[in-house]
Structure 1
């Protein structure tokens, strides 16, 4: 641990997304166009130590890593305790 003295910290995250298609038609899709972060820190520590803290926080962030270096996503589901393969069914929900 760096043991940096931080008296206050705030982080804002802004995501830029678009969605297209229809939930009802089973054609919905979303695209992430980018993520912005802004960190506000109050500290009496040296700016170089704060910069090191920020670099380490980004380097250790699982969410940021998954977005920057996309990896396969494998989905699974159960219905009433039984495994289902939802890819075997039509995208469009049947009428009731």
Structure 2
């Protein structure tokens, strides 16, 4: 793929870069080299390859969510240093 001056200026504008003419020429050559290297992947036959999300097989190891009763409020507040109106009382942190 040939990278032209307009493409370089467009990419530089997106990246908020100010490039000199010499830098634009070097970037064009570098991008052409990168794109031609990546284009080699198009030569591979991937028709029999299953698309994957991860390189190694991973499955969810978390338990299923299930609705259960919560602990009784009085048991939860039993060890609270301070409580007020059935809630934990903590120091005020915002004025």
Whether these two folds match at TM > 0.5 is: no
TM-score (norm 1): 0.28
TM-score (norm 2): 0.28
Greater relative contact order, per chain length (Cα 8 Å cut-off, separation 6+): 1
Name the structure with the higher helix share. 2
